[in-house]
Every structure is written in structure tokens, then in C-alpha cells.
Copies of this chain bind each other. A is one copy, B any other.
Amino acid sequence: MTRVFITGAAGFIGSNLADRLLAEGKQVVAWDNFCTGQEEFIATARRHPGYTLVRGDNLDAPALTKAMAGCDMVFHLAANADVRFGLNHPERDLQQNTIATFNVLEAMRANEIKRIAFSSTGSVYGETEQIPTPENAPFPIQTSLYAASKVACEGLIQAYCEGYGFEGTIFRFVSILGERYTHGHIFDFYKQLREHPDHLRVLGDGTARKSYLHVGDCVEALLHTVGEGLAAKASNRVAIFNLGTSEHCAVRDSIGWICARMGVAPRLDFAGGQRGWVGDNPFIFLDTARILATGWKPKLTIQQGVERTVDWLKANEWIFQSRA
């Protein structure tokens, strides 16, 4: 029986992953500080006999080490994901991403756990000229504190694989959406239209292209590559996979899908310019040939993913109250 430790287990992706692991008969030790995690996301999982919730913070190394005891592998998903306002509090990415990941790796070492899967980001490619971007694109220059911290985490994991015999799988995600999605463009658009269906403020000029993946397809990819021991079979101790769909959309497209699903026809107020904020990538579009070659493929298109996200937000009005 596999016993899986998940950091950020009450978050968007973590809670979806936990549900799926429980359904497969795995045991889950769920670790979360509930800083952005939601009690409601784990309400069902907590009733499962294979689920153990431990409340704690990755910066509390002794508690983290204790909680991890007896686990076989770690999905390290907890992170500061506030990319946009990173410049207002530069210490946050360092602490919650870089130092937190170091603590996770040290807790694993203390517990003799060697397998880790890590959620990195397509933002690590900065403003690469190679689009779609493969995993071995030219050594990029970082454009945000968030991506810089994720690169730092990747490097730590890689060095632990080389130095301590860890087996790591690093996933560079596009934006994920779907059930329990509570931040990012689609969420912001929905939230605005829910409050004032007659107009929508849009950062940039609406032409920015975006790449999204549905959380169900994301979780499937994590389990397909890590769960099947693919990382262990690879020639390197560390496997790196881009994770996304082979399509992209413009911000205007996603606005159209959201409005149609909500039955609204707002006036669009564009702030102008090509990007939303300093450090915002104008376009992340990943070459996913490597993970497609493992047999995984996404089941939903971007449009379907956006529509399911809108449906979930409609059915979960409480999310707007709890975050008010």
C-alpha cells in the first residue's frame, strides 16, 4: 500500500490529486497550512479512512519532518502562487517556495523518502524565443520572482537527485483551471461579471495568448508519469516534463466562452498594452512532445476546460464569500 505525502493538499491541484489517489486505493497524508487551502476542498476526502490531515507550514521543518514519517513518496505542490504581486513582497517567493522546498527535501532525507514530484511552471522559460518551448530550450533569463524561485526549487531537487540518490519528477505547468480553481484570469473575469454583468475590465489588449490545462488532465499526468514509475525507469534520476495542451487561446476567446456560458454580453474595457503587469509573460506555450510520448494526453480542450470552470464557479458561490 502506497502512502503518499502531499504538500498544499487543501489547495486547488492538491485536493484534486488527493481525491484521485484515494479513489485508487492509496493512503494520503495531507499537509497544508490553510493559508490559501480551503476546508471545503477536503470535506469529502476527510471522511475517507485512508486520509490523514496534518495542519502545518513548510517553514516549520520539525513538524514537517514528523508528519512525513512512514510515507513512500511526496507530491510537493504547496507554493506561493501570487505571481502578479510578487514585487510587493519579494521575500514571499524565497520563503514559501525556495526555502520551503529545501525543508521538504530535508524532511524526506530525514525520513529516507527518495521519490518526489514537483509542480514547477512554464514561467521558468521567461521570454524565450522558442515557441512552443521544449524542456531543453536555451538557458532562460528569469522575469519574475515567482519563476526565479521555481527555478531555484528545480535546481535543489536536481542536486538532491544527483547527490543523495533521490528520484525526482519536475512538471512545468501552464495555467491550470477547472473544479476548485480560485485565482487567475478566468476566475477574475467570472468574479467581475458576477458582480457587474454589463461590463468587464481587461488588463492588456485582449490579444495576449494563453495556454490552459484542465486540473483533471493535470492530475492524470502526475499519476501517469510518477505513479507508473516512469521517472524511476528513465536513464536520469530526474525527469522534467512540460505539461499543457497542444493548443492555445487569446484572452478574447476565453472572455467569449465565459460570457456565453454565463449568458451575459458585457462592454469590454481594455487597459491596453501587450501584457497585464510587469513580469507577466506575454505568451507561455509549451512543447509537450515529451509527456505525450509517455502515452498521456489531455481529454479536454481549453474551451471545455474554461466552460467546466465556469460551471463549477456557478455551483460554488461560497468561494466568493470566503475570500471576500
Contacts and interface: CB of A to CB of B under 8 A. Distances in A.
Interface string A137-164: 1111111110111011011101110111
A53 to B, nearest CB: 29
A256 B125 CA distance: 44
A94 interface: yes
Determine which residue in A87, A145, A159 has the highest number of CB atoms from chain B within 10 A of its CB, and name it: A159
Contacts of A140: 139
Contacts of A135: 139
A262 interface: no
A272 B99 CA distance: 37
A119 interface: no
B278 A141 contact: no
Contacts of A148: 152, 155-156, 158-159
A261 B86 CA distance: 55
Nearest to A151: B155
A64 to B, nearest CB: 15
Main secondary structure of the interface of A (DSSP, over half): helix
A311 interface: no
Contacts of A147: 155, 159
Given A90-B106, A94-B98, A141-B158, 19 more contacts: A90-B102, A90-B105, A91-B102, A94-B99, A94-B156, A98-B98, A136-B139, A137-B138, A141-B238, A142-B159, A145-B156, A145-B159, A147-B159, A148-B159, A151-B155, A152-B152, A159-B279, A162-B278, A163-B279
26 contacts: A87-B164, A90-B102, A90-B105, A90-B160, A94-B98, A99-B99, A125-B139, A137-B139, A141-B158, A141-B238, A141-B240, A142-B154, A142-B159, A142-B162, A143-B162, A143-B163, A145-B159, A145-B163, A147-B159, A148-B155, A148-B159, A149-B155, A151-B151, A151-B152, A151-B155, A152-B156
